[in-house]
Amino acid sequence: MEPIIRLENVSFSYKINEKTKVSVLKNISFSIIPGEYVAIIGHNGSGKSTLSKHLNGILTPDNGDVWVHGNNTKDTNNKRSIRQTVGTVFQHPDNQIVATIVEEDVAFGLENIEVPREEMKKRVDEALNVVKMSQFRHRPPHHLSGGQKQRVAIAGVLAMHPDCIVFDEATSMLDSFGRKEVLQVMRKMNNMGMTIITVTHHMSEAAEADRIIVIEDGQIVMDAPPREIFKHKQELKNLQLEVPSVSQMAEGIHQQFPDFSTELIQEDEFIDEVMKFSKVEVI
Amino acid sequence: MSSEFEISRSITIGQYVPTDSYIHRLDPRVKLLLFVVIVVAIAFNTSYIGNAIGLFLSLYLFWASKIPISYGLSGVKPAIPFIIILALLQLLFQGQLFSGGKVYVDYGFILITSESIRLVVVSAVRFIEIIFLSSVLTLSTSTTQLTHSIQSLLSPLKKINFPVHEISLITTISIRFVPTFAIEMEKMMKAQASRGADFGTGGWWRIIQRTKETFPIIIPLFNIALSRAEDLILAMESRCYTPGGNRSSYSVYKTLAKDYLVLLVGLLFAYLLIFYPFPF
């Protein structure tokens, strides 16, 4: 299948002043196929956030190219269609809400791309429905919880009918309840066929994805399904990353009961394994 | 004790109270236009009766829009020191300019006459009326409605390349962030206070000390505002915002017959406030 986003030898550096540059991305290449659920992980300063800003042309590479549906992000004429294809949800729920009423914020992007009013109404209703925020549509955003605000931000992106949504640490400011809400929405959208790219340092969140890309010092060091990735406990540790808490627990139990599987990354898998074990022990 | 940190409660700007009253359902452009006209009319009117009527009108509007008057009062409260200082200055130093009427005190440069007292009382009441009116306007009109109407009222200026839409967007965003920054400021005050900073212990008359107290809050607040702005730009750009670009509009307002009626009544009211010779 033709990739929705394709990075070819992307390098990027931030200029500090005339003389010094800090190289953030070094020769990164990968493709993302429509419908994928990809997590990009890496510790602070690894370049993962800079990478995510390349995916819809907020930043453009110094060297190399980013192609979105075959359009180069460097071409300013493509800007609008690229940003319509790839939407972004950012970290701070408060800093991405423009309007003073929920539904009007959801409509902000649609106003920018000149969607006719009738169509706009339909899309706003739809988007608010998907994130389950319809009953809050007339509320001012500062009366909402973090998770709710973030769902409004998602609705704002969703209403523009993108093919892909990038979540740039979108859950890191939320409590565990809010995170769960947002993760559910992400899963739901992926099931609807949307391509999801989530940049995160919560491993349990990365475990939800179908594919994990690990970034270290501006380079891709691993690119595999979560189960593969989390087998490499020592390597991850060296990269200042951890395996999900479920895997850690499984590992601990494994030390006591060698038969207990260590390759568990999801909560329900863990519960199943425990159930299996307790039955064996009882009988 | 907790009240000294609760800034976000006393800010009425940008807090829409959706009670869906008659006032809420008016065409926001009519509301905004009338607001401007009536404020100008109040500024022109120097009589006691005229301003009493103005005060009555603003209270009536609170009632009509089903918004608790406490919202209006909490808007007035922080303005009281200014009103008092202004009143004192006018009373002491402006007597010479408004020297008509009966003379009560004539001591050195201080001249207090019935005219200067009228000036003091009327300007204090005026101040309160304007705060009330603007509170009703912002409490009964969502800021997006407001900015849409600013945009719509200013749209003739587009012909001379005036950036109408940009101005209205700037207004929306600044209003949108008022409560956010108020909450931010509360957090900051609590954080500073928990590390031993003093707030509000100095007594309100120690102006220099109280001004100094605000620096450890104002400066980080600026910092936060700038980084928020940067984030906001990214978020807006990601949602295809292009400055100067064409946009469609989510909210469309129809001016109905009742809106014209209200407009007419309001304009008549303003006309009377300016031109009717009130006896007192």
Contact A215, A190 (CB under 8 A): no
Report the range of poorest mean pLDDT among A97-111, A136-150, A200-214, B192-206: B192-206
- Look at residue A188 and tell me if it is in a domain: yes
Residue B99 has pLDDT above 70, yes or no: no
What is the number of alpha carbons within 13 Å of residue A14 lying toward its C-beta?
10
Identify the pLDDT of residue A199.
92
Residues of B in contact with A124 (CB under 8 A): 250
Q: How far is A37 from chain B (nearest CA, A)?
A: 20
Identify the pLDDT of residue B77.
85
| Averaged confidence pLDDT in chain A | 88
Q: For chain A, say whether B175 makes contact (Cβ under 8 Å).
A: yes
Polymer length in residues for chain A: 283
Q: What percent of chain B has pLDDT over 70?
A: 90
Identify the pLDDT of residue B246.
76
- Look at residue A127 and tell me if it is in a domain: yes
Task: Indicate whether A174 and A143 sit together in one domain.
Answer: yes
In this prediction, residue A231 has a pLDDT band, given cuts at 50, 70 and 90, of: confident
Q: Vertex A92, ends A84 and A204: CA angle to 5°?
A: 90
In this prediction, residue B1 has a pLDDT band, given cuts at 50, 70 and 90, of: very low
The pTM for the full model equals 0.76
Task: Indicate whether A43 and A182 sit together in one domain.
Answer: yes
- Look at residue A80 and tell me if it is in a domain: yes
Task: Indicate whether A97 and A183 sit together in one domain.
Answer: yes
Residue A281 has pLDDT above 70, yes or no: no
Task: Indicate whether A95 and A126 sit together in one domain.
Answer: yes
Distance CA A159, CA B118 (A): 58
Contact B42, B51 (CB under 8 A): yes
Residues of B in contact with A141 (CB under 8 A): 176
Distance CA A58, CA A87 (A): 11
Q: State how far Cα B63 lies from the chain centre.
A: 18
What's the Rg (C-alpha) of chain A?
Answer: 20
Residues of A in contact with B175 (CB under 8 A): 100
- Look at residue B129 and tell me if it is in a domain: yes
First to last CA, chain A: 50
Average pLDDT over residues B247-275: 86
Number of neighbours of residue B242 by Cβ within 10 angstroms: 14
* Closest alpha carbon to B137 in B35, B41, B219: B35
Report the range of poorest mean pLDDT among A67-71, A148-152, B198-202: B198-202
Average pLDDT over residues A32-50: 90
- Look at residue B194 and tell me if it is in a domain: yes
Asked if A113 lies within 8 A of B252 by C-beta distance, the reply is: no
- Look at residue A118 and tell me if it is in a domain: yes
Report the range of poorest mean pLDDT among A4-18, A24-38, B167-181, B258-272: B167-181
Task: Indicate whether A216 and A250 sit together in one domain.
Answer: no
Count structural domains, chain B: 1
Average pLDDT over residues B174-190: 84
- Look at residue B146 and tell me if it is in a domain: yes
Q: What percent of chain A has pLDDT over 90?
A: 34
Asked if B250 lies within 8 A of A117 by C-beta distance, the reply is: yes
Identify the pLDDT of residue A159.
92
In this prediction, residue A165 has a pLDDT band, given cuts at 50, 70 and 90, of: very high
Number of neighbours of residue B89 by Cβ within 10 angstroms: 11
* Closest alpha carbon to B173 in B144, B148, B145, B151: B144
Residue B255 has pLDDT above 90, yes or no: no
Task: Indicate whether A113 and A164 sit together in one domain.
Answer: yes
Chain B's closest residue to A137, CA to CA, is B18
Task: Indicate whether A53 and A167 sit together in one domain.
Answer: yes
Residues of B in contact with A157 (CB under 8 A): 238-239
Residue B8 has pLDDT above 80, yes or no: no
- Look at residue B280 and tell me if it is in a domain: no
Q: Which of B18, B144, B248 sits opposite A115 (nearest CB)?
A: B248
Q: Vertex B41, ends B37 and B44: CA angle to 5°?
A: 145
Asked if A95 lies within 8 A of B240 by C-beta distance, the reply is: no
Task: Indicate whether A170 and A250 sit together in one domain.
Answer: no
Chain B's closest residue to A140, CA to CA, is B16
Identify the pLDDT of residue B13.
54
- Look at residue A8 and tell me if it is in a domain: no
Count structural domains, chain A: 2
Q: State how far Cα B248 lies from the chain centre.
A: 29
* Closest alpha carbon to B252 in A102, A128, A107, A109: A107
Identify the pLDDT of residue A80.
87
Task: Indicate whether A202 and A250 sit together in one domain.
Answer: no
ipTM: 0.82
Q: For chain B, say whether A97 makes contact (Cβ under 8 Å).
A: yes
Q: What percent of chain B has pLDDT over 90?
A: 12
Identify the pLDDT of residue B5.
61
pLDDT in tens, B82-91: 889 988 888 8
Report the range of poorest mean pLDDT among A52-56, A121-125, A190-194, B68-72: B68-72
Residues of B in contact with A88 (CB under 8 A): 234-235, 238
Best to test chain B binding among A95, A115, A164 (most B CBs inside 10 Å): A95
Residues of A in contact with B247 (CB under 8 A): 111-112, 114
Average pLDDT over residues A28-57: 90
Identify the pLDDT of residue A162.
92
| B 181-200 near A (Cβ less than 8 A) | 183
Read off the tokens for B46.
């120097």
Q: For chain A, say whether B235 makes contact (Cβ under 8 Å).
A: yes
Residues of A in contact with B240 (CB under 8 A): 80, 83-84, 109, 112-113, 160
Average pLDDT over residues B86-103: 78
Identify the pLDDT of residue A12.
92
Residue B14 has pLDDT above 60, yes or no: no
- Look at residue B55 and tell me if it is in a domain: yes
Report the range of poorest mean pLDDT among A142-151, A234-243, B241-250: B241-250
- Laid out side by side, the sheet with A21-32 consists of A21-32, A5-15, A63-68, A71-72
Q: What percent of chain A has pLDDT over 70?
A: 98
Task: Indicate whether A260 and A215 sit together in one domain.
Answer: no
Q: How far is B27 from chain A (nearest CA, A)?
A: 17
Identify the pLDDT of residue A283.
53
Chain B's closest residue to A115, CA to CA, is B248
A/B interface, count of CB pairs below 8 Å: 109
Q: For chain B, say whether A109 makes contact (Cβ under 8 Å).
A: yes
Residue, of A28 and B208, whose pLDDT is higher: A28
- Look at residue B27 and tell me if it is in a domain: yes
- Look at residue B169 and tell me if it is in a domain: yes
Strand partners, B43: none
Q: Which of A91, A98, A157 sits opposite B176 (nearest CB)?
A: A98
Identify the pLDDT of residue A156.
92
Distance CA A149, CA A155 (A): 10
Residues of A in contact with B185 (CB under 8 A): none
Q: Which domain holds residue B161?
A: 2-275
Q: Which domain holds residue A193?
A: 35-62+76-226
- Look at residue B34 and tell me if it is in a domain: yes
Map chain B to HEC letters: CHHHHCHHHHCCCCCCCCCCCHHHHCCHHHHHHHHHHHHHHHHHCCCHHHHHHHHHHHHHHHHHCCCCHHHHHHHHHHHHHHHHHHHHHHHHHCCCCCCCCCEEEEECCEEEEHHHHHHHHHHHHHHHHHHHHHHHHHHHCCHHHHHHHHHHHHHHHHHHCCCHHHHHHHHHHHHHHHHHHHHHHHHHHHHHHHCCCCCCCCCCCCHHHHHHHHHHHHHHHHHHHHHHHHHHHHHHHHCCCCCCCCCCCCCCCCCCHHHHHHHHHHHHHHHHHHHCCCCC
What's the Rg (C-alpha) of chain B?
Answer: 22
Residue A232 has pLDDT above 90, yes or no: no
Task: Indicate whether A200 and A144 sit together in one domain.
Answer: yes
Task: Indicate whether A216 and A160 sit together in one domain.
Answer: yes
Read off the tokens for B279.
């006896």
Q: How far is B68 from chain A (nearest CA, A)?
A: 18
- Look at residue A5 and tell me if it is in a domain: no
Polymer length in residues for chain B: 280
In this prediction, residue B11 has a pLDDT band, given cuts at 50, 70 and 90, of: low
Q: For chain A, say whether B173 makes contact (Cβ under 8 Å).
A: yes
Average pLDDT over residues B43-72: 88
- Look at residue A15 and tell me if it is in a domain: no
In this prediction, residue B2 has a pLDDT band, given cuts at 50, 70 and 90, of: very low
Best to test chain A binding among B232, B248, B251, B253 (most A CBs inside 10 Å): B248
Q: How far is B256 from chain A (nearest CA, A)?
A: 20
Read off the tokens for B129.
């009326």
Identify the pLDDT of residue B70.
86
Q: State how far Cα B49 lies from the chain centre.
A: 23
Q: For chain A, say whether B179 makes contact (Cβ under 8 Å).
A: yes
The long-range contacts involving B86-89, CB below 8 angstroms and separated by at least 24 positions, are B86/B123, B86/B124, B86/B127, B87/B120, B87/B123, B87/B124
Q: Which of B180, B231, B249 sits opposite A111 (nearest CB)?
A: B249
pLDDT in tens, A76-124: 888 888 999 999 999 888 888 888 788 888 999 998 888 898 999 999 9
Distance CA A149, CA A105 (A): 11
Q: How far is B240 from chain A (nearest CA, A)?
A: 6
Identify the pLDDT of residue A79.
86
Contact B76, B64 (CB under 8 A): no
- Look at residue A29 and tell me if it is in a domain: no
Asked if A117 lies within 8 A of B252 by C-beta distance, the reply is: yes
